């Protein structure tokens, strides 16, 4: 059994009769020692789905799922108190902006020790020693003097290391990293990812890596999940997705990588934006932006189907040559990518 | 921290100097001659008038008068009251504890009710709890003190008879002032019922005085709290698996209180201004009432001394607030 099992997770906001689905029937699982990468543009529901797993979606947001289990325990059915015992201990999360993730009023030491106190107890001395260990583990130079530092005295990279130390304090079995490097310098980004992967390997954690950096997931993740406008578009092993994308969106994302634009005058982009609450297409959500879309795509919404061992939400999944299969007339009526 | 304290103290001296300047000259702009006021309706003959003018130093050029006064102030001499002939400082110190007692109770009431109301409104944002607390606080803020105080007296004292109408203590008790704070004096006197009497006399003035600061603090706490609750570190705190109570009381409130503390400091000035009205209505023997009476008699030394001392008090409280601010907000403390 997988560590985290998510089946048809849906997160809705707004009124009951006209809800906005930020996350629409998304399913995935993460195993011990596995790295699952979730990629997609801004607004594709990556963060919201992970917040739902953490139990951090507030009223008026509504979370429903056929099943949401961690290590066999039903997360949605349990009491709030019981869930808090899992949150922060067995499932921990790292957020996007380290500079705002630390409480400016408390020292580094106090913030890390707090997590330990809530979940593991022990004496103050033990907690302090463990904190020192953690700071060492995440590669903070001169950890003793950093213990009593306040967040405003730390750099961004240093803050993110503290945030990571805080997240792994109780030795979680699943770590959710929500764009952990977006707010950092490029040179620091690589260090932080290396650190995360090392920690993941050392303790056999499951790691859910949310990012819009494709290059990053290609190196780090075992499996990849491509999301768009709250829906799962494609999922499968990382290597095969990069070798042969089955969904036109994945293909377009890969083509937008700067290194794949060599020989072209301009960087290739995907025109348009992710549909929001008020401009959702009736058919396939990608139809207005998809270069292969036809009338069928504009009128009907595709389901997730199995295509050559990969989950794909498309009427005309791509073949190994990157051409759509099963298209009736081969005519494009949609976007212009 | 010590350097910070000295820097702030350094700011106080020029401010204090400016206050003496303002007070001294503004009072003399008010029409009315103190000697004529002192003489009353029977008047005074020109020879005696000139004699009195010389005695009080009014025959000197005004600049000389000011510097004489200033020299006195720096030596701790605020002059003598024209009316009672007693040193202003002595009178001030006798009446001061009554005002301090009332002000402390007022600000405690304002903080004790205002902060929890603000927090509650923020947590229950958009619900009827929020709307109710915010309309109550808006009403409180818009209510003139003299009217609100009269309403309170009419309802609780006259109709219901729950509290006394005015004064600091029932006439049945005589308490020798040791600290000047009636609550403490009655407590150490050991006289039965005296403490309860002092407390019941304090209730209405406290509410009348504390209502406006309470409303301001409640609204400030709410908006500050709402801002903090949207911060990423609150989400991080919740992701640690902390209880909602701990997230709000420890992680959110501490940050939300930073701007509220500043407002509390500023409200102390409002409180002392309000004390003048409140003391007059409740016949509270404090400096507010004392200054009002001095104004009516053009008792220059008393007005000058009283206002100077109040200004000094407000500055000191704001100094304390600044220090508190440094304690609660590490970003200020470490700035050099």
What residues in B contact A160, CB-CB < 8 Å?
none
What's the burial of B252, exposed, middle or buried (CB within 10 Å: 0-12/13-18/19+)?
buried
Contact B255 A104 (CB under 8 A): yes
Are A291 and A261 contained in the same domain? yes
Pairing type for strands A231-237 and A73-74 reads unpaired
Q: Which domains does chain B have, with CATH numbers?
A: 34-77 (no CATH), 88-333 (1.10.3720.10)
Residue A267 has pLDDT above 80, yes or no: yes
Tens of pLDDT, residue by residue, chain B (336 residues): 677 778 777 878 888 888 888 888 888 888 777 777 777 777 778 888 888 888 887 888 888 888 888 888 888 888 888 878 888 888 888 888 888 888 889 999 999 999 999 999 999 888 899 999 999 889 888 888 888 888 888 888 888 878 887 777 777 777 777 777 777 777 777 777 778 888 888 888 899 889 999 999 999 999 999 999 988 899 999 999 888 899 999 899 989 988 898 888 888 878 887 888 888 888 888 888 888 888 888 888 888 888 888 888 888 888 888 888 777 777 776 654
Please give, rounded to a whole number of angstroms, the shortest distance from the CA of B75 to a CA of chain A.
43
According to the model, what pLDDT value does residue B113 have? 94
Residue B255, both tokens: 């940050």
Are A78 and A172 contained in the same domain? yes
What residues in A contact B231, CB-CB < 8 Å?
100
Are A212 and A275 contained in the same domain? no
Across the range A44-67, mean pLDDT stands at: 87
Interface test with B, best of A93, A95, A99, A104 (most B CBs within 10 A): A104
Q: Does B331 touch chain A (CB under 8 A)?
A: yes
Cα(A318)–Cα(A56) distance, integer angstroms: 37
Pick A95's closest partner by Cβ from B236, B241, B251.
B236
Q: Does B329 touch chain A (CB under 8 A)?
A: yes
Contact B241 A101 (CB under 8 A): no
Whether the link from the prior residue into A60 is cis, omega within 30° of 0, is yes
| Residue A43's CATH number | 3.40.50.300
Contact B242 A88 (CB under 8 A): yes
Are A305 and A203 contained in the same domain? no
Are A207 and A259 contained in the same domain? no
Please give, rounded to a whole number of angstroms, the shortest distance from the CA of B167 to a CA of chain A.
44
Residue A327 domain boundaries: 247-337
A204 found inside a domain = yes
Determine the residue of chain B that is closest to A97 in CA distance.
Answer: B232
Pick A88's closest partner by Cβ from B233, B240, B251.
B240
Given the structure tokens 């993941």, which residue do they identify? A200
Are A192 and A258 contained in the same domain? no
A110 found inside a domain = no
Residue A336, both tokens: 């212009």
Pick A105's closest partner by Cβ from B243, B255, B334.
B255
According to the model, what pLDDT value does residue B334 have? 65
A34 found inside a domain = yes
Given the structure tokens 């609550």, which residue do they identify? B183
Pick B334's closest partner by Cβ from A100, A101, A150.
A150
Are A99 and A213 contained in the same domain? yes
Cα(A246)–Cα(A322) distance, integer angstroms: 7
Nearest Cα to Cα of residue A221 among A93, A36, A3, A33: A36
Q: Does B325 touch chain A (CB under 8 A)?
A: no
Q: Does B243 touch chain A (CB under 8 A)?
A: yes
What are the residue ranges of helices labelled H in chain A? 46-54, 80-86, 98-101, 108-120, 124-137, 143-146, 156-168, 186-203, 214-220, 238-243, 248-255, 295-299
Interface test with A, best of B240, B331, B336 (most A CBs within 10 A): B240
What residues in A contact B232, CB-CB < 8 Å?
95-97, 100-101
According to the model, what pLDDT value does residue A293 have? 86
| Cβ atoms of residues B183 and B101 within 8 Å | yes
Contact B233 A101 (CB under 8 A): yes
Q: What is the ipTM of this complex?
A: 0.84
Please give, rounded to a whole number of angstroms, the shortest distance from the CA of B105 to a CA of chain A.
29
A54 found inside a domain = yes
What residues in A contact B240, CB-CB < 8 Å?
87-88, 114-115, 118, 166
Number of structural domains chain A divides into: 2
Please give, rounded to a whole number of angstroms, the shortest distance from the CA of B258 to a CA of chain A.
10
């Amino acid at each position: 059994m997988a560590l985290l099992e998510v089946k048809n997770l849906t997160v809705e906001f707004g009124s009951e009769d006209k809800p906005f689905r930020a996350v629409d029937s998304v399913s995935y699982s993460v195993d011990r020692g596995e790295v699952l990468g979730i990629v997609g543009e801004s607004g594709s529901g990556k963060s919201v789905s992970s917040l739902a797993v953490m139990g951090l979606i507030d009223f008026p947001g509504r979370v429903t799922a056929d099943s949401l289990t961690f290590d066999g325990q039903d997360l949605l059915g349990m009491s709030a108190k019981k869930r808090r015992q899992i949150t922060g201990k067995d499932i921990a999360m790292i957020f996007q902006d380290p500079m705002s993730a630390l409480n400016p009023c408390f020292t580094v030491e106090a913030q890390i020790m707090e997590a330990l106190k809530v979940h593991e107890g022990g004496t103050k001395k033990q907690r302090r020693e463990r904190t020192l260990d953690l700071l060492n583990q995440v590669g903070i130079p001169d950890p003793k003097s950093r213990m009593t530092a306040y967040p405003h005295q730390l750099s961004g990279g240093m803050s993110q290391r503290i945030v990571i130390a805080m997240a792994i304090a109780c030795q979680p079995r699943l770590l959710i990293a929500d764009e952990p490097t977006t707010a950092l310098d490029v040179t620091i980004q690589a260090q932080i990812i290396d650190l995360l992967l090392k920690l993941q390997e050392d303790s056999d954690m499951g790691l859910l890596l949310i990012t819009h950096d494709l290059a990053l997931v290609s190196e780090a993740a075992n499996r990849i999940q491509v999301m768009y406008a709250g829906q799962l578009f494609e999922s499968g092993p990382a290597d095969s997705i990069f070798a042969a994308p089955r969904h036109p969106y994945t293909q377009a994302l890969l083509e937008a990588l700067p290194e794949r634009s060599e020989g072209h005058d301009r960087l290739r982009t995907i025109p348009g934006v992710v549909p929001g609450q008020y401009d959702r297409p009736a058919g396939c959500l990608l139809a207005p932006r998809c270069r292969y879309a036809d009338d069928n795509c504009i009128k009907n919404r595709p389901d997730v189907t199995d295509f050559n061992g990969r989950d794909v939400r498309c009427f005309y999944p791509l073949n190994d040559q990157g051409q759509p299969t099963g298209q009736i007339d081969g005519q494009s009526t949609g976007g212009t990518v | 921290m010590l350097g910070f304290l000295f820097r702030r103290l350094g700011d106080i001296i020029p401010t204090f100097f400016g206050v003496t300047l303002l007070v001294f000259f503004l009072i003399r702009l008010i029409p009315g001659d103190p000697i004529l006021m002192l003489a009353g309706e029977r008047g005074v003959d020109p020879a005696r008038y000139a004699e009195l003018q010389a005695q009080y130093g009014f025959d000197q050029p005004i600049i000389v008068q000011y510097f004489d006064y200033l020299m006195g102030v720096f030596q701790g001499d605020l002059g003598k009251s024209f009316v009672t002939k007693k040193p202003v400082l002595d009178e001030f110190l006798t009446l001061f504890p009554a005002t301090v007692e009332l002000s402390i109770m007022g600000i405690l009431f304002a903080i004790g009710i205002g902060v929890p109301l603000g927090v509650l409104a923020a947590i229950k944002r958009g619900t009827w709890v929020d709307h109710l607390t915010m309309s109550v606080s808006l009403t409180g803020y818009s209510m003139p003190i003299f009217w609100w105080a009269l309403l309170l007296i009419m309802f609780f004292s006259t109709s219901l008879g729950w509290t006394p109408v005015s004064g600091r203590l029932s006439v049945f008790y005589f308490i020798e002032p040791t600290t000047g704070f009636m609550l403490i004096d009655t407590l150490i006197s050991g006289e039965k019922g005296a403490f309860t009497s002092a407390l019941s006399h304090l209730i209405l003035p406290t509410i009348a005085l504390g209502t406006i600061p309470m409303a301001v603090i409640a609204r400030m706490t709410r908006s500050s709290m709402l801002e903090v609750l949207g911060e990423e570190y609150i989400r991080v705190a919740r992701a640690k698996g902390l209880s909602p109570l701990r997230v709000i009381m420890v992680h959110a409130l501490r940050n939300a209180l930073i701007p509220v503390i500043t407002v509390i400091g500023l409200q102390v000035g409002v409180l002392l201004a309000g004390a003048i009205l409140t003391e007059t209505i409740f016949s509270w023997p404090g400096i507010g009432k004392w200054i009002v009476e001095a104004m009516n008699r053009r008792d220059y030394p008393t007005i000058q001394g009283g206002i100077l001392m109040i200004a000094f008090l407000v500055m000191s409280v704001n100094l304390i607030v600044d220090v508190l601010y440094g304690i609660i907000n590490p970003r200020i403390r470490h700035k050099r």
